[in-house]
Amino acid sequence: MSIQEKRPIVSIISSLLIFGIYYAIAFNIYQERVSTIAEELEFWGAIVLILVPVLMVSKIVLYVLFSIFNTIITGEKEENFLKDEFGRLIESKATKNAYCVFMIGFLLSMGSLVMGMSPLVMFSIIMLSLMVSGMVQDFSEFYYLRKGV
Amino acid sequence: MSGSSVSNNIRKLRFHHNEMTQKDLADKVGVTRQTIVAIEKGKYSPSLELAFRIAHTFDKPLEEVFSYQPQNNGK
């Protein structure tokens, strides 16, 4: 398996870990501190906003660690794959798939509000769709690398 | 996808050019080795520009490197 194929797998595993830990921490804080609806909206707004830099930094750190360990173990140097035409085509198709998944999640979250569910459900669906869309992007990259485009 | 109607002789041509490696070819045409692997396996049909660059590297006309077989779709 090439480093380009390993990278999406590492990314999927790190997404699961980061989201799982982050959501568990957020949910604990939510149960301890939030009581009114105004607090709930403020809390979840902050949680989603903080998630973005947390996700970016942790993914960069994990990816750098992966590259270092992979180079040490296999001696294989990573090429700047997503910069050439095949890589860009794969990236654009994978991004399109991720976007579709996120839009479905976003519409479902709006649907939950229409059905009278709590903001907790809405924000949980948004966070879940963020996670799943990221994983769909990684899986799509892996799939197109293997099967071709 | 895998049922591409564009086939190529890149592997054979590499062999006849002093057993040029995929990495060497990739560097000469300005793409990654992964892209050359995908083209050789028929998983990816390159852009016209890349196809010309590959043919130019082997000093061959385009049709000697790539060939197109129209797929019979029953129409």
Instruction: Give me the tens of pLDDT residue by residue for chain B, a chain 75 residues long.
Output: 445 688 999 999 999 998 999 999 999 999 998 899 999 999 999 999 999 999 999 999 999 999 988 876 544
Do residue A79 and residue B34 have CB atoms under 8 angstroms apart?
A: yes
pLDDT computed for residue B50 by the predictor = 95
Question: Which residue reads 């700047």 in tokens?
Answer: A80
pLDDT computed for residue B75 by the predictor = 45
Dihedral of the CA atoms A52, A90, A62, A26 (nearest 10)? 30
- Measured CB to CB, residues of chain A less than 8 Å from chain B are 2, 4, 79-81, 83-87, 89, 145, 147-149
Do residue A81 and residue B32 have CB atoms under 8 angstroms apart?
A: yes
Q: Does B47 touch chain A (CB under 8 A)?
A: yes
Dihedral of the CA atoms B23, A95, A130, A122 (nearest 10)? -170
- Report the complex ipTM: 0.82
How far B7 CA lies from chain A's nearest CA (Å)?
14
Q: Which of B34, B43, B48 to mutate to test the interface with A (most CBs of A within 10 A)?
A: B34
Where do the domains of chain B lie?
6-62
Beta bridge partners of B6: B68
Backbone angles phi, psi at B20, to 5 degrees: -60, 135
Q: Which of A4, A145, A149 is the closest to B1 by Cβ?
A: A149
State the pLDDT confidence band at A55, using cuts at 50, 70 and 90. confident
Q: CA-to-CA distance for B18 and B3, rounded, in angstroms?
A: 30
Q: CA-to-CA distance for B10 and A136, rounded, in angstroms?
A: 33
Summarised one tens digit per residue, pLDDT across range A72-120 is 887 776 666 667 899 999 999 999 999 999 999 999 999 999 999 988 8
Q: CA-to-CA distance for A78 and A35, rounded, in angstroms?
A: 50
Q: Does B35 touch chain A (CB under 8 A)?
A: yes
- B35, B44 in Cβ contact below 8 A? yes
Q: Which of A1, A76, A84 to mutate to test the interface with B (most CBs of B within 10 A)?
A: A84
How far B16 CA lies from chain A's nearest CA (Å)?
25
CATH architecture classification, B6-62: Orthogonal Bundle (1.10)
